Amino acid sequence: MNRGIALVPILSVGVDMASIGVVSISALGLVGVIKGSRRLMNLYFGLVLAFIGVQVGYAVAGFISGTSWVEASLERSWSEAYQKDPSLIYDLQTEFNCRGFKTQDDRAVDTPLGSEIFLPPCSQVLETMFGSQLDRMGSMIVCIRLIQYAFRTLSASFLSP
């Protein structure tokens, strides 16, 4: 039975320092609105602009590094799958006729083909098949971050005295 495998990006849901920061900044904005405090609202917009600016910086740095970002994303996903769900590695190796990640023995799972025949490392196959899609996704993230930054900057300029 040949199953099609779909690799899709996932959003991790968890509480980290960035999430706590966003909630804190949002709470500050709400307090500013409730109290009608111009100072709190200006502080809120300044913090939002700084936060978005940091995001834009990370997005641009990731976009500029291009191939290394794609490699790092695939490496991270492969390692996680190898530790948590080796059957996914098995399915990937079978579907794409490859073995291991960077070499045939790098985090490989035995398949019916075994190691008797030479199969290319899966990193090469995955980068060829999905690298351009990951690059496009990175480009979209950069554009979204720049639009957010521009929108927040314009909003702050309209609201300041």
Q: What is the mean pLDDT of each run of 10 residues along the chain (161 residues)?
A: 50 61 85 90 86 76 67 84 88 86 85 72 83 74 75 65 53
The pLDDT value given to residue 63:
66
Q: pLDDT tens across 63-83, in order?
A: 676 566 677 778 888 888 888
Q: Residue 65 and residue 8: Cα distance in Å, rounded? A: 21
Q: Where are the alpha helices (DSSP H) in 85-159?
A: 86-96, 122-159
Q: pLDDT tens across 14-32, in order?
A: 556 767 878 888 888 889 8
Joined together, the tokens standing for residue 153 give 């900057």
pTM: 0.49
Q: Residue 85 and residue 111: Cα distance in Å, rounded? A: 15
CA atoms within 13 A on the CB side of 78: 25
